Amino acid sequence: MRDGDRCDACPDGALDPPTEERVPVALTRCGVVAWARVPGRRCTRCGHVLVAPGVLARAHLSVACALADHGIQTGDVFRQMRKALGLRAADVATLLGVTPETISHWETGRATPARGAFAALAAMVHEAIEGRTSTRDRLAALAGAQPRPQAIEVRVPDRWQA
């Protein structure tokens, strides 16, 4: 048996062939149980499920996007979205133009996340799934993190012509 076919949770376990597995994504305060269906391999002995790190990262993004799409506007979901994007609270505070303390209050449930901030973070999550960063780039420009150009030229696509 190759190392890639052994369980990393128990010494004697072997891994079944890849199947679709249900993996829980922990949300402690919002009252919603979230699961992601991902390709994984289950140990024949202990039942541990092995999922590739890249797949798990996309699962967290997908869960965060689904929660936001269902209008679950809680600090727990806000934190899930932020972490799925790989951002620190201070980074999100800068992008949204709020203090890190505000982010802390939202994420710990002391205050409800502002609707616009929640929508902006949800847009970043949705775009990350698609491999885009438009909202994040705009927020960074608004935060002054990018130099302002001296001139801007745009091209109007042919499909917009009357």
Q: Where are the domains of the chain?
A: 3-147
46-101 pLDDT, tens per residue? 988 888 888 989 998 999 999 999 999 999 999 999 999 999 999 999 999 999 99
Q: How far apart are the first and last CA of the chain?
A: 65
Q: pTM (2 decimals)?
A: 0.79
21-45 pLDDT, tens per residue? 888 876 667 778 888 899 999 999 9
Q: How remote is the C-alpha of 25 from its chain's centroid?
A: 11
Give the CA count within 13 Å in the CB-facing half-sphere of 67: 32
